A and B are shown apart, each in its own frame.
Chain A
Amino acid sequence: MSKRQLAMVMDLNKCIGCQTCTVACKTQWTNRNGREYMYWNNVETKPGPGYPNKWEDMGGGFDAEGNLKDGNIPGLSGDYGIPWDYNHDEIMKGAELAPRSTPQTGPNWNEDEGAGDFPNSYFFYLPRICNHCSNPGCLAACPREAIFKRSQDGIVLVDQSRCEGLRFCIAGCPYKKIYFNPKLFKSEKCILCFPRIEKGLPPACAQQCVGRIRFVGYLDDEEGQVHKLVHKYKVALPLHPEYGTEPNVYYVPPLAGPKKFDKTGKPIEGSDRIPLSYLQSLFGPEVETALETLKTEMAKKKSGQPSELVDLLIAFKHSEMFRLNVQAKKGAEANG
């Protein structure tokens, strides 16, 4: 376990699914050398099978007693999807734009499909990176103990010199956020842009986010937004807490979805299209309280009263969303 824990909060109410984070990550880390199929950051439509396909059904994580559970390993062709190219050279000579191979599946294959029947269908976007868990399933699964948590910030990394490409880590991670590089025969994953972190910069996905949905900071920094959203207001919740890995990416659950329509096409006041039970299945039982807190604070702000929470979530200044140069309190090696 690490002395401090860096964490990220993503406000799902502000995510527009533009994939700028995905592209920022891909161009920085995964557009080459056996990583072409990997999305260390992806944005998927929920409800939906996500990326890799049906990752929530693939096992891993810990049982109620804290014992590692068996899991499966996604295949490149069926689960991640083999990346395809387009005939860009030929369209200059008059050809129609077409993929060079027949796409079978891929990230965003089910984009914007969601669930529910017209006119009451619904969806929202869920950006996902490695959760840099406090009890990581990947770390526990590696028989070679090649995966470690950095003491200074809790970032989970693979020691490439110890990794032998056995892939038990992939079975162990319930989020399927660790990938096998078949060209280099090593496991690879989101590194939370640690070379940027070490220079006081946020990860590329957070830096580039046009919706300003991502806060980055240390959980023990009580003045920081991350601590306040997670611990003070308890509106930011981990994804699938029942997986037992203690994730350190937190989500402000989607709140202001459109209302349902009745048979005559009129909006039903006070209705929510996204069923609470669905949000609970993603973010655990605390989601109800979190949504209540958000509603109350938003009403306060609307009526002209101050609300620190809503001001935080508005994120007036992009630069203030990241607090990376804050030292741990003296004598306190806890991480919040």
Chain B
Amino acid sequence: MADSRLVPALLVTMVSGLVANAQAAKPPYAPPEAFMNNEVVVVKQAKAGLPTTTKDKRWQSAQLQSFRLYPQRTVRLNDAAANAKLDVAQPLELRVRALASPQQLALLLEWKDESASRVSAKETRVFGDSFAVQFPYVFGEGHRLPYIGMGDEKYPVIAYLGRAADKGLIARTSAAIGFGSSTRQQATRAKMSMEYDGKEKIWRATWMRPLKDDKHDLKRDLVPVAFAVWNGESFERGGNKSLSSWKFLKIEGQKINENYLTTMAFGYGPGEVGDALKGKELAQQSCAACHHFEGVVTAVPDFAPNLSQVGKIATYGYLRDSILKPNEVVVRNLNQNRHYMKTETIEGQRGHPNNAGMMWYSRDEKGDVISKMPSFDYLAPEDVANLLAFLKAVEK
């Protein structure tokens, strides 16, 4: 069925004839419904002012959106207790409400948690329940999204972290260019709060910051945003966390850039994604030598990013870029000292050199990153489409 928005456009063409033809040839882009439902939070203007607490009635005027957060499985850290929990971790539902005033943006986040865990100055093995909100520093037409796991060298992110502590909330603002790189910033600060509802067993967190300042401008039509939650009881901190894929805040009253919207909605259009079963066959042939995914564990562990549930935290666009342009989207290696060459020694040294084979990328003379993964740009478009379908669906 034709999109209803096409009708006025067609009418205009008919009435004004040839003169208006050029304009009318391109109707306004209507993003597929599934994209809007899965990936977008509509941010309404708060007519009665922004809510100030988690229980503020004004949140009721906001659209309720719900996202699934998945355990981070791309890189595996070394805490045995945390890894045991990770092996049985389930996705988590994060409920998001967002409101804007002309100057401010406010979020209300809610997620289930059986018990509250707060960091304490009295224990060494207690971790605090936490949440984070992440934005790209630079975004909009002509820019790809940063790597979901705390950005990359070309596209850094700004991340706001709130952590429950026995003496209130610990708030951090950081910039990052990938795993392990986050560095505290004096950038635009956010006001955060966290409250545990022991009766409903729900954490509620509020987050608010100016839409725009001289460092970072969120006063735009479509703002990429990602969320993360840490469950302290499961020893989660740092890279042990659950995270969303890139989502979007569609701020009411801002003019939509259709080109950006089209690019970001890649994967939801007709024919962009193929057959997952055919994709699986291809993945078993082409990816399994280096990557682990859904029961396929033939590769050396940690030889390449683990693809388990990768589609749950990666966009279609990212998956396509990693297949076709791997140098553009490398995942930052965790500490390369994690693997060393036991058979090799440097003369006179007691320590062994690192195992360069376990590095995910190298650098050329200019310092640019060269991924260990070759480009698969020779694949037929339908093969790529099939791979995308499989990767989006792949489980652990």
Q: Mark A residues whose CB is within 8 Å of B.
A: 1-2, 5, 34, 37, 59-60, 62, 64-77, 80, 133-136, 139-145, 164, 166-168, 170-172, 179-180, 182-183, 185, 219-220, 244, 246, 248, 332-336
Residues 41-86 of B contacting A (Cβ, < 8 Å):
77-81, 83
Question: Which partner residue on chain B sits nearest A58 by CB separation?
Answer: B80
User: How many Å from the CB of A62 to the closest CB on chain B?
Assistant: 7
The answer to whether A70 and B83 touch (CB under 8 A), given A75-B125, A168-B78, A183-B121, is yes
Cross-chain contact B352 with A70 (CB below 8 angstroms): no
The answer to whether A244 and B342 touch (CB under 8 A), given A145-B335, A168-B79, is yes
- Taking CB atoms, residues of chain A closer than 8 Å to B352 are 66, 134-135, 246
User: How many Å from the CB of B360 to the closest CB on chain A?
Assistant: 14
Q: Which of A60, A64, A182 contacts B121 (CB 8 A)?
A: A182
Interface: B123 (CB within 8 A)? yes
Cross-chain contact A135 with B78 (CB below 8 angstroms): no
- Taking CB atoms, residues of chain B closer than 8 Å to A80 are 124
User: How many Å from the CB of B28 to the closest CB on chain A?
Assistant: 45
User: How many Å from the CB of B8 to the closest CB on chain A?
Assistant: 54
Q: Which of A75, A139, A334 contacts B337 (CB 8 A)?
A: A139
Q: Which of B78, B238, B347, B350 contacts A70 (CB 8 A)?
A: B78
Q: CA A73 – CA B123 in complex, angstroms?
A: 11
- Taking CB atoms, residues of chain B closer than 8 Å to A135 are 337, 340, 351-352
16 pairs across A/B with beta carbons < 8 Å?
Answer: A5-B350, A60-B78, A62-B340, A65-B342, A66-B340, A140-B338, A141-B78, A143-B179, A143-B180, A143-B238, A143-B334, A168-B77, A171-B80, A220-B348, A246-B352, A335-B350
Q: CA A23 – CA B226 in complex, angstroms?
A: 50
Q: CA A145 – CA B180 in complex, angstroms?
A: 7
Cross-chain contact A334 with B347 (CB below 8 angstroms): yes
Question: Which partner residue on chain A sits nearest B349 by CB separation?
Answer: A1
- Taking CB atoms, residues of chain B closer than 8 Å to A59 are 80
Cross-chain contact B180 with A246 (CB below 8 angstroms): no
Q: CA A334 – CA B347 in complex, angstroms?
A: 7
Q: Mark B residues whose CB is within 8 Å of A.
A: 77-81, 83, 119-125, 179-182, 235, 237-239, 301-302, 334-335, 337-342, 346-353, 355
Q: Which of A66, A73, A219 contacts B350 (CB 8 A)?
A: A219
Q: CA A60 – CA B77 in complex, angstroms?
A: 12
Cross-chain contact B349 with A335 (CB below 8 angstroms): yes
Cross-chain contact B237 with A166 (CB below 8 angstroms): yes
Q: CA A1 – CA B119 in complex, angstroms?
A: 35
User: How many Å from the CB of B239 to the closest CB on chain A?
Assistant: 6
Q: CA A139 – CA B180 in complex, angstroms?
A: 13
**Most-contacted residue by chain A among B79, B83, B122, B334 (CB, 10 A):** B79
Q: Which of B80, B119, B238 contacts A185 (CB 8 A)?
A: B119
User: How many Å from the CB of B387 to the closest CB on chain A?
Assistant: 29
- Taking CB atoms, residues of chain A closer than 8 Å to B346 are 1
Cross-chain contact A334 with B348 (CB below 8 angstroms): yes
Cross-chain contact A167 with B237 (CB below 8 angstroms): yes
Cross-chain contact B124 with A180 (CB below 8 angstroms): yes
Please list the 7 inter-chain residue pairs (A to B) with the smallest Cβ-Cβ separation, ordered nearest first: A334-B348, A134-B351, A140-B337, A66-B342, A143-B180, A134-B350, A70-B80
Q: CA A141 – CA B69 in complex, angstroms?
A: 25
Q: A1-B353, A71-B80, A139-B335 are in contact. List 4 more A-B contacts (CB 8 A).
A: A34-B121, A71-B79, A182-B120, A334-B349
Cross-chain contact B79 with A73 (CB below 8 angstroms): yes
Cross-chain contact B78 with A76 (CB below 8 angstroms): no
User: How many Å from the CB of B48 to the closest CB on chain A?
Assistant: 39
The answer to whether A69 and B78 touch (CB under 8 A), given A143-B335, A144-B180, A185-B119, is yes
Question: Which partner residue on chain B sits nearest A38 by CB separation?
Answer: B124
Cross-chain contact A74 with B119 (CB below 8 angstroms): no
Q: CA A33 – CA B366 in complex, angstroms?
A: 46
- Taking CB atoms, residues of chain A closer than 8 Å to B121 are 34, 182-183
Q: CA A142 – CA B125 in complex, angstroms?
A: 16
Q: CA A336 – CA B349 in complex, angstroms?
A: 7
Question: Which partner residue on chain B sits nearest A76 by CB separation?
Answer: B124
Q: CA A172 – CA B335 in complex, angstroms?
A: 12
User: How many Å from the CB of B132 to the closest CB on chain A?
Assistant: 13
Q: CA A50 – CA B158 in complex, angstroms?
A: 44
User: How many Å from the CB of A53 to the closest CB on chain B?
Assistant: 13
Cross-chain contact B302 with A67 (CB below 8 angstroms): yes
Question: Which partner residue on chain B sits nearest A182 by CB separation?
Answer: B121
Q: Which of B78, B181, B301, B348 contacts A333 (CB 8 A)?
A: B348
Question: Which partner residue on chain A sits nearest B82 by CB separation?
Answer: A171
Cross-chain contact A66 with B78 (CB below 8 angstroms): no
Cross-chain contact B350 with A246 (CB below 8 angstroms): yes
Cross-chain contact A73 with B119 (CB below 8 angstroms): no
Cross-chain contact B338 with A68 (CB below 8 angstroms): yes
Q: CA A139 – CA B340 in complex, angstroms?
A: 12
Cross-chain contact B342 with A64 (CB below 8 angstroms): yes
Question: Which partner residue on chain B sits nearest A60 by CB separation?
Answer: B78
- Taking CB atoms, residues of chain A closer than 8 Å to B342 are 62, 64-66, 244
Q: CA A220 – CA B238 in complex, angstroms?
A: 39
User: How many Å from the CB of B147 to the closest CB on chain A?
Assistant: 15
The answer to whether A73 and B124 touch (CB under 8 A), given A143-B77, A166-B238, A185-B119, is yes
Q: CA A333 – CA B302 in complex, angstroms?
A: 33
- Taking CB atoms, residues of chain B closer than 8 Å to A244 are 342
Cross-chain contact B77 with A66 (CB below 8 angstroms): no
Q: CA A220 – CA B355 in complex, angstroms?
A: 25
